[in-house]
Amino acid sequence: MMNYFPDEVLEHVFDFITCHKDRNSVSLVCKSWHRIERYSRRRVFIGNCYSISPERLIARFPGVKSLTLKGKPHFADFNLVPYDWGGFVYPWIKVLAETGIGLEELRLKRMVVSDESLELISKTFVNFQSLVLVSCDGFSADGLAAIAANCRFLRELDLQENEVDDHRGHWLSCFPESCTSLVSLNFACLKGEVNLGALERLVSRSPNLKSLRLNRSVPLDTLQKLLMRAPQLVDLGIGSYVHDPSSEASNKLKHAIQRCKSIMSLSGFLEVAPRCMSAIYPICGNLTTLNLSYAPGIHGNKLTKLIQHCRKLQRLWILDCIGDKGLGVVASTCKELQELRVFPSDPFGAGNDAVTEEGLVLVSAGCPKLNSLLYFCQQMTNAALITVAKNCPNFIRFRLCILDPVRPDPVTNQPLDEGFGAIVQSCKRLKRLSLSGLLTDQVFLYIGMYAEQLEMLSIAFAADSDKGMLYVLNGCKKLRKLEIRDCPFGNAALLEDVGKYETMRSLWMSSCEVTLGGCKTVAEMMPSLNVEIINESDQTEFNLDDGQKVDKMYLYRTLVGHRKDAPESVWILGDLTRSEHHEPSLNDMIQDMKLKNVSGDDDFIIWESNNFKLQGNFSVYGYNPFIFFFHPVVGLGVVASSCKELQELRVFPSAVFGAGNDVVTEEGLIRR
Amino acid sequence: MAFEKDFNLDATELRLGLPGTSEESEKQASTTLRISNKRAMTDMNEDSSVAADKKCDQETAPPTKAQVVGWPPIRSYRKNSLQTKKTEAETCGMYVKVSMDGAPYLRKIDLKMYKGYPELLKALEDMFKFKVGKYSEREGYNGSEFVPTYEDKDGDLMLVGDVPWGMFINSCKRLRIMKGSEARGLRCVV
């Protein structure tokens, strides 16, 4: 029916579909929807930068304006991945630049971003507006200076938790006088000084500035001046907050803060004197987000008093020095709370101030809307988890980290299987789960049985046998990311269902029982996976014995074969022919299959043939018996063997896949 | 010999660990053994039985916990910034202001230089030329019109000597030597 609408109408309809998954589904309906969706797609999300190449991205989505890329595996955050593992953004920028793409937004997470990349971005994409870097490294203030100086329409520069070499603080001065478009500026993670005068002038000429997060070097009097110039701020990150409450400077600050009636998000306090917090109280009533997780200077009474003013909080990030009692204050004050993160204030020590299960139970009882949790604690009990599960059945993210990774329930001395089992059984919408504490195979049985929506699972120091991993792989149909460390899972678990890994983004296993031989087997059986072995030991030659246990293995699905930028410490398994693998062109395939090209078109070729050559296995997915999407690398064996009545076959060129939620039609392709 | 089965010898057996932990402590021991074999762990005790004993004893925080690579799972950026704050606090010395009622100007001392209260009080006495009385938990300082007090993290005025030394130096923000009637007022509070 929809085929009778002109393309423009469909395009307009598709504009309302913004979610990646939905757009991916839209593109699978039929050829014309595929084409229209493809040309009208502006935002692309690539969860693993090595699953696809920039060339193929552009071939499929020539109109892309906003790109999100993620690089290193999650455990890189915890120093488990060598610094030079990969995730370089430069090759992407280079290709985008060369192909004339009008890139406007770039969001990167755990990638290596060189100054060269930033410079290239700033000089190539004339309409570049938004740069968001999360947990990235490889750049310095020079790269930031290039962005500031050259991006004439810059709206957003958001640096979150990056390791930046910023010994030169000049970058802020590089924003030209003509730059008045800033909406969001976050440089809280920079350690160095900035030009305060330049900062004040920049804020003065940015009437649209809504979000401003400062670093430690910005002193109080500058903060006061900035607030006077930007009372329209919605999100504020305070750098240094030390003042004498009885001083004139403090009064001026109070006045400035009170003028900012729109502030809903507050963070920072990287340096703070607790006595000064009362100046903040006037704006606390409007806060929906409060992040004090970098402010160990605020604790005890001062902290709880502050929280008592924040009745509208929806998101709270805090340190564990808040204590169980403090969490009780949160529970009785913040009835709208949806997300809570409690970080350890002393990650290296015994954490005498840390919270326990009591605090969590209090919050679960007082905050019924709680749906996202990250909780570092001294201990947890099954009883507490069962209570929490009953109080809060709406968890989407539940991440519990007991500081001693194998601690049992201190009251009963039992493993925490029953507690986590209650969580997965009660929280039917759970998408992300991190486990800790003493755990046996039993908890994984529960997870496999009940966690139907689970997409990401993190396991450490748990389980007794391969059964644990098998319960999860067999049960969790929507699993996308599985990361495991220090568990007794071996080849039997790894090899039970290798096809499953094609339905997932990635699998990480470190300090487990899998061997080199097991990993090689996966690589040989599954050409669509890259199986990487990370070996950081001092041995000059990695022991080639297949029986050798592998220290770290990271495997992920990909459409572009082995990457070429891996360092020496990373081995990509698979036979040599596959590592030089390239996709045969359509012409190659046509020759092979003795098909006649009946009609050529930009988008498709219609073939007629009596002759099919069987080649290997692959998966077929089709909405319509006359339209097939399949991976061009593999043959048509299944089509030939199953579609005996086939009269018409339409084959789409190798650009037929997406870079959607991971890779789009590849997901459809692989679906069994 | 048959009656030995009726004695619950396990219950009275002396061992490390909480009562009723026979199976669990073994499980923990095997878990610990597994951990001990991991190459990622540094400084792990190679002697598995000693490690197992450490795990069984729930009261002591296992000293090896801090050395597990990548645990607790906190982003390096966050770990580094907390570490910086701690180091700053540790390396700079703990200088606090000391005021004495009636004195024209204040002094500063480094709390880290002293091992305990007697040394600190002696240093203060020398600095300001006075003598404190005798300390007792019940009555505070008896026998002198001078009383050493301090302001803690919460901004409250506290009597020096009530809390353990370690806790004191971590919470003391400034010292104040009170004198005269105000000081006596403190003493009267029992």
Compute the distance between CA of residue A441 and CA of residue B57 in angstroms, rounded to an integer: 24
Token pair of B139 as six digits: 């009555």
| B31–chain A Cβ distance below 8 A for any pair | yes
CB-CB under 8 Å, A301 with B154? yes
Q: For the ranges A35-44, A102-111, A245-254, A546-555, which has the lowest average pLDDT? A: A245-254
Q: For the ranges A273-287, A344-358, A422-436, which has the lowest average pLDDT? A: A344-358
Residue A476: per-residue pLDDT: 97
Residues shown for chain A: 672
The pairing of beta strand A649-651 with beta strand A605-608: antiparallel
Residue type, B32: T
Is residue B124 within 8 Å of B100, Cβ to Cβ?
no
Residue A465: per-residue pLDDT: 97
Q: What are φ and ψ of residue A224, in 5° steps?
A: -60, -45
Cβ contacts of B65 on chain A, cutoff 8 Å: 403-405
Q: For the ranges A254-258, A368-372, A634-638, which has the lowest average pLDDT? A: A634-638
Residue B69: per-residue pLDDT: 87
Q: What are φ and ψ of residue B2, in 5° steps?
A: -60, -40
Compute the distance between CA of residue A608 and CA of residue A594 in angstroms, rounded to an integer: 9
Summary mean pLDDT of chain A = 86
Residue B51: per-residue pLDDT: 38
Structure-model confidence comparison of residues A582 and A8, the more confident one? A8
> Between B66, B71, B77, which is nearest A161 by CB?
B77
CB-CB under 8 Å, B35 with A486? yes
Q: What is the ipTM of this complex?
A: 0.79
Residue A536: per-residue pLDDT: 78
The pairing of beta strand A184-186 with beta strand A137-140: unpaired
Token pair of A325 as six digits: 């009692």
Q: What are φ and ψ of residue A201, in 5° steps?
A: -65, -40
Q: How confident is the model at residue A456 (pLDDT cuts 50, 70, 90)?
A: very high
Residue B65: per-residue pLDDT: 43
Encode pLDDT of A209-228 as tens digits: 999 999 999 998 899 999 99
**pLDDT beyond 90 at A609:** no
| A85–chain B Cβ distance below 8 A for any pair | no
**3-class state of residue A16 by DSSP:** coil
Q: Could you say which residues of chain B have pLDDT below 50?
A: 1-5, 21-66, 187-190
Say how many C-beta atoms besides its own lie within 10 A of residue A393's C-beta. 16
Cβ contacts of B164 on chain A, cutoff 8 Å: none
Burial B158-185 (b: 16+ CB within 10 A, else e): ebbbeeeeeebbebbbebbbbbeeebee
Compute the distance between CA of residue A496 and CA of residue A499 in angstroms, rounded to an integer: 9
Residue A625: per-residue pLDDT: 31
Structure-model confidence comparison of residues A579 and A245, the more confident one? A245
Compute the distance between CA of residue A550 and CA of residue A566 in angstroms, rounded to an integer: 17
Token pair of B169 as six digits: 């130096």
CB-CB under 8 Å, B69 with A80? yes
Q: What percent of chain A has pLDDT above 90?
A: 71
Residue B13: per-residue pLDDT: 58
Quick one: average pLDDT of A313-338?
96
Per-position DSSP letters for B10-54, written without gaps between them: HHH---SS-TT-HHHHHHHHHHHHHHHH-TT-SS--S-HHHHHHH
CB-based contacts of A514, cutoff 8 Å, min separation 6: A489, A490, A491, A494, A549, A550, A553
DSSP assignment, residue A112? B
| B64–chain A Cβ distance below 8 A for any pair | no
Is residue A118 within 8 Å of A141, Cβ to Cβ?
no
| B67–chain A Cβ distance below 8 A for any pair | no
Calculate how close chain B gets to A543, using CA atoms only, in Å: 15
Quick one: average pLDDT of A423-449?
98
Which of A75, A271, A486, A510 to probe the B interface (max B CBs under 10 A)? A486
Residue A275: per-residue pLDDT: 78
Q: For the ranges A318-332, A469-483, B155-169, which has the lowest average pLDDT? A: B155-169
Is residue A316 within 8 Å of A326, Cβ to Cβ?
no
Which of A413, A432, A514 to probe the B interface (max B CBs under 10 A)? A413
| B155–chain A Cβ distance below 8 A for any pair | yes
Compute the distance between CA of residue A481 and CA of residue A432 in angstroms, rounded to an integer: 9
Quick one: average pLDDT of A587-597?
47
Tell the residue number behind the tokens 């109070």, with chain if given. A254
Per-position DSSP letters for A550-580, written without gaps between them: PSEEEEEE-SS-S-S---TTEEEES-HHHHT
Q: What percent of chain A has pLDDT above 70?
A: 83
| B157–chain A Cβ distance below 8 A for any pair | no
> Between B39, B58, B77, which is nearest A189 by CB?
B77
Provide long-range contacts, Cβ within 8 A and 24+ apart, for A228-234: A228/A256, A228/A259, A229/A200, A229/A203, A229/A204, A230/A203, A230/A206, A230/A260, A231/A259, A231/A260, A231/A261, A231/A262, A232/A207, A232/A260, A232/A262, A233/A209, A233/A260, A233/A262, A233/A263, A234/A210, A234/A262, A234/A263, A234/A264, A234/A265
Residue A3: per-residue pLDDT: 60
CB-CB under 8 Å, A401 with B35? no
Q: How confident is the model at residue A502 (pLDDT cuts 50, 70, 90)?
A: very high
CB-based contacts of B189, cutoff 8 Å, min separation 6: none
Tell the residue number behind the tokens 């090899």, with chain if given. A495
Compute the distance between CA of residue A557 and CA of residue B184 in angstroms, rounded to an integer: 77
CB-CB under 8 Å, B155 with A275? yes
Which chain A residue has the Cα nearest residue B35? A486
Compute the distance between CA of residue A28 and CA of residue A34 in angstroms, rounded to an integer: 6
CB-CB under 8 Å, A163 with B70? no
| A510–chain B Cβ distance below 8 A for any pair | yes
Calculate how close chain A gets to B98, using CA atoms only, in Å: 18
Residue B182: per-residue pLDDT: 72
Calculate how close chain A gets to B77, using CA atoms only, in Å: 6
Compute the distance between CA of residue A473 and CA of residue B180 in angstroms, rounded to an integer: 76
CB-CB under 8 Å, A344 with B69? no
Which of B15, B16, B30, B34 to probe the A interface (max A CBs under 10 A)? B34
Token pair of B150 as six digits: 């301090």
**pLDDT beyond 60 at A270:** yes
**3-class state of residue A76 by DSSP:** helix
Q: How confident is the model at residue A658 (pLDDT cuts 50, 70, 90)?
A: very low
| B63–chain A Cβ distance below 8 A for any pair | no
Compute the distance between CA of residue A28 and CA of residue A667 in angstroms, rounded to an integer: 11
Closest by CA to B85, choosing from A321, A80, A142, A197, is: A321
Compute the distance between CA of residue A142 and CA of residue A145 in angstroms, rounded to an integer: 5
Residue type, B67: Q
**pLDDT beyond 80 at A661:** no
Residue A159: per-residue pLDDT: 97
Compute the distance between CA of residue A500 and CA of residue A470 in angstroms, rounded to an integer: 11
CB-based contacts of B15, cutoff 8 Å, min separation 6: B56
CB-based contacts of A387, cutoff 8 Å, min separation 6: A361, A364, A365
Which residues 435-464 of A have a C-beta within 8 angstroms of B? 438, 440, 458, 460-461
Compute the distance between CA of residue A524 and CA of residue A557 in angstroms, rounded to an integer: 13
CB-based contacts of A25, cutoff 8 Å, min separation 6: none
CB-CB under 8 Å, B73 with A348? no
Q: For the ranges A452-466, A489-503, B30-44, B136-150, which has the lowest average pLDDT? A: B30-44
| A352–chain B Cβ distance below 8 A for any pair | no
Compute the distance between CA of residue B43 and CA of residue B64 in angstroms, rounded to an integer: 7
| B33–chain A Cβ distance below 8 A for any pair | no
Residue A271: per-residue pLDDT: 85
CB-CB under 8 Å, A510 with B82? no
Q: How confident is the model at residue A328 (pLDDT cuts 50, 70, 90)?
A: very high
Quick one: average pLDDT of A257-265?
95
Encode pLDDT of A565-583 as tens digits: 999 899 999 754 444 444 4
Compute the distance between CA of residue A348 and CA of residue A591 in angstroms, rounded to an integer: 64
Q: What are φ and ψ of residue A46, in 5° steps?
A: -120, 105
DSSP assignment, residue A224? H
Residue A611: per-residue pLDDT: 36
Calculate how close chain A gets to B74, using CA atoms only, in Å: 6
> For A351-426, where are the alpha helices, taking DSSP H only?
357-366, 382-391, 417-426
Compute the distance between CA of residue A246 and CA of residue A654 in angstroms, rounded to an integer: 70
Closest by CA to A507, choosing from A525, A520, A494, is: A494
Which residues 301-330 of A have a C-beta within 8 angstroms of B? 301-302
Is residue A477 within 8 Å of A471, Cβ to Cβ?
no
Cβ contacts of B32 on chain A, cutoff 8 Å: 406
Quick one: average pLDDT of A123-128?
97
Cβ contacts of B62 on chain A, cutoff 8 Å: 404
Residue B188: per-residue pLDDT: 46
CB-CB under 8 Å, B78 with A376? no
Quick one: average pLDDT of A425-442?
97
Compute the distance between CA of residue B139 and CA of residue B143 in angstroms, rounded to an integer: 11
Q: How many Cβ pairs within 8 Å bridge chains A and B?
A: 106
CB-CB under 8 Å, B34 with A404? no
Quick one: average pLDDT of A194-216?
96
Residue A645: per-residue pLDDT: 44
Cβ contacts of A438 on chain B, cutoff 8 Å: 27-28, 31
Which residues 163-182 of A have a C-beta within 8 angstroms of B? 163
**pLDDT beyond 70 at A643:** no
> Between B65, B70, B86, which is nearest A75 by CB?
B70
| B66–chain A Cβ distance below 8 A for any pair | yes
Token pair of A542 as six digits: 């990695």
Residue B141: per-residue pLDDT: 87
Cβ contacts of A301 on chain B, cutoff 8 Å: 154
Q: How confident is the model at residue A455 (pLDDT cuts 50, 70, 90)?
A: very high
CB-CB under 8 Å, B73 with A460? yes
Going from the C-alpha of A46 to that of each of A17, A54, A377, A453, A496, the distances in angstroms are 18, 10, 34, 21, 28
Is residue A403 within 8 Å of A351, Cβ to Cβ?
yes
